[in-house]
Structure 1
Amino acid sequence: MLAMKVIWSFCLIFLFLLCQGEAAAGELYERLTNFPQWEKLTSVRPAMGDLIYPNWMMGSWQVKSTLEDLIAPLAPDIVTPGFEGNRQYLKQPISFQVRFVRETTPHPGLKIIPQTRSKSAVVADRPFNGLNLARAYLGDTVLSVKVDPDSPNRQITFLRGERQLVTIVAARATETTSDGKFITTEVFQQLFKGGERPYFNTVESTTAYRKLAEFNSAIEADQVTAVYLSPQDPDYFKAGSRPVALYRYRLEFIPTEEVPTIP
């Protein structure tokens, strides 16, 4: 049960991409609109470099995440471990802090568009954000979070009892709507080590962010996380390409300090 709670806790991902990985116009928007009728992974491209956030994400934020809905599309035949236990989070806000900073030393593979080459990119403070998110759900069971210095797409969460959750970003996509929403998708592989046997799965997180200028630069977001079985799971072929669990969240970002205006 603890393993699945850890895996679910890291389904909350904040994503923005630079230029690579653009989805077909409207594809991600349609995907959110069609919830919960999801049949397979969306169109994505291999992840390269760090995730680049818009300038208005710069600064420190208090985030309130509320699970609005959870669905097991293949129940009762296939229900992932921990799914029923996650009902305790339904309509229960979870709060934690995150921050986004200027990256002065880009990771290998980071692409900067020519017109912004003179400015460093805005990126997530991954160890800070990951640790705060994990502890919001799991408390002091979480010891630390480390990001691979050679790849921002590989993160390890260290837990008590010599357990680890390894998260590897595999692919991403993004699009911008005419009303200013940034919609992103990230697909990542997760490996939980330290139990009786390693546990693998694939997670897809699609999020639409919107800046609320009329509310002191607050941000809101609609997010759907889909969990797919890995080939190592005995029910993998039975599930096919379909998700075995879907979670929908409402996210609210409130600045905890004066957020600088970026020209």
Structure 2
Amino acid sequence: MVQVPGAWPWAGAGAGGGAWEAGGGMRTWAGGMRAPRLAPGDPIRCRCSVWQAEGVQSHMTRKKLMLHTFALLSAWLASARQSDASDLYKRLEKRDPEALSKPLMPSIVAIPVAEQVYPDWLEGTWDVSCKFSGYLLPVKQLSKEQIMRDVEIPGFQKLSIALLPDVGSSASFQKSFRRRADGKVVEDRQAGFTSLINSYVGSSAVKSVTCTNDRDSIELIPGKTRNAERIELFSSSRDSEAVGDIFVCSDYVRQVTYGLSKQFGVARQVVGEYQHFWTFKKKTDYELTANLLTAAYLQPQDPLFFQAPSKAVVVYSTDYNFRRG
């Protein structure tokens, strides 16, 4: 597994193991929890006021003031993203659960994000095996019982997290990274989602996958799974950094899952938000290891939302082994 210096404070709720019995497609996770290998660090903190940044004049019209403020805010957010990305590895080393909160950007201004770029040594097709390695409930104000009853939390139902279709289970699939025309290496998400979901579901469940820089649309064959017929993924914040043979990246995702409902002619729609934190470590030209931390958040309509409006209420850890196919 990926080794990063430091130690997680894994005391408290979630550290005792036991059964996971939230219902709705849940698995039972027995045994004690093993600490995930890494997590993000301090969140971005704004210490400036956009209203004072350039001495906004009192005679400006309301429209001009709004446009001026929006321009300043957009510029600051873009700068914050660049600064935050440059020290992602250091933040991950801190292993502070408080740092798994939602990024500032998606809640203020929706800025299109570029496709994630990966190091050259990830290029190619890999045979991947993964194994669930533990979970954590970092919000002390919420009891384990309160969280387990909330089946709308991402990960508590199958396919509520597209990259982890059945949290708690193991799987084997293929993952590919290709070189674009500009020479940069990106993930083949279309092939990746198809192989991943089919492996977890246990059959050829994926009908089609359409991808753009910041959106993925996954259509499933009707009847293959009861929890989803179509999945829409929207990415609104990404960071990455390479340090030697280690590459770290994060992706904040809003997932909308459409499926069958009890009401005839009306599709069931479930919205979830979560953030992925990947760490890849190169071992040889033909083998690498990785860890994925997935932080799940509450939606505003959730009764527990105001107790954790921006903090991760559940964190899942999954370990991966990559071998060239």
* TM value normalised by structure 2: 0.59
Q: Which residue of 1 aligns with 2:300?
A: 231
1:32 deviates by 5.5
Greater C-alpha radius of gyration: 2
Extract unaligned runs of 5+ from structure 1: 6-19, 105-118, 257-263
Contact 2:88–2:248 (Cα < 8 Å) also in 1: no
Distance 2:82 2:301 in 1: 28
C-alpha change, 1:176 and 1:58, in structure 2 (3 Å) is closer
Q: Which residue of 1 aligns with 2:242?
A: 176
Q: Which residue of 2 aligns with 1:190?
A: 255
1:140 deviates by 2.8
1:243 deviates by 1.3
1:101 and 2:172 are equivalent in the alignment:
no
1:36 deviates by 4.4
Matches within 5 A, 1:108-127: 119-127=182-190
Q: Which residue of 2 aligns with 1:23?
A: 84
Matches within 5 A, 1:31-46: 31=92, 33-34=94-95, 36-38=97-99, 40-42=101-103, 46=111
SS at match of 2:145: coil
C-alpha change, 1:231 and 1:130, in structure 2 (3 Å) is same
1:37 deviates by 4.9
AA aligned to 1:218 is E
C-alpha change, 1:180 and 1:22, in structure 2 (3 Å) is farther
Structure in which a larger fraction of residues adopt strand: 1
Contact 1:21–1:172 (Cα < 8 Å) also in 2: no
Using CA pairs below 8 Å that are at least 6 residues apart, which structure has the higher relative contact order? 1
Contact 2:113–2:235 (Cα < 8 Å) also in 1: no
C-alpha change, 1:50 and 1:26, in structure 2 (3 Å) is closer
Matches within 5 A, 1:128-167: 128-140=191-203, 142-148=205-211, 151-159=212-220, 160-161=222-223, 163-167=229-233
Contact 1:21–1:174 (Cα < 8 Å) also in 2: no
1:168 deviates by 0.9
Contact 2:176–2:188 (Cα < 8 Å) also in 1: yes
1:238 deviates by 3.0
Q: Which residue of 2 aligns with 1:77?
A: 146
| 1:103-152: CA deviation from partner (whole Å, max 9, x where unpaired) | 23xxxxxxxxxxxxxx432221111101111111113362324224xx33
Contact 1:64–1:93 (Cα < 8 Å) also in 2: yes
Which residue of the other structure, out of 270, 275, 278, is the alignment partner of 1:199? Answer: 270
Contact 1:21–1:44 (Cα < 8 Å) also in 2: no
AA aligned to 1:94 is A
Contact 2:272–2:297 (Cα < 8 Å) also in 1: yes
Q: Which residue of 1 aligns with 2:131?
A: 66
Contact 1:47–1:172 (Cα < 8 Å) also in 2: no
Extract unaligned runs of 5+ from structure 2: 1-23, 28-80, 159-163, 262-267
| 1:194-252: CA deviation from partner (whole Å, max 9, x where unpaired) | 24331111110111111112xx4311112211111122433322332221211111111
Contact 1:57–1:100 (Cα < 8 Å) also in 2: yes
Contact 2:103–2:237 (Cα < 8 Å) also in 1: no
Aligned residues: 220
Q: Which residue of 1 aligns with 2:323?
A: 254
Moved more, 218-227 or 233-242: 233-242
| 1:148-172: CA deviation from partner (whole Å, max 9, x where unpaired) | 4xx3321122222482111111111
1:49 and 2:118 are equivalent in the alignment:
no
RMSD: 3.0
Identity of aligned residues (%): 23
* TM value normalised by structure 1: 0.72
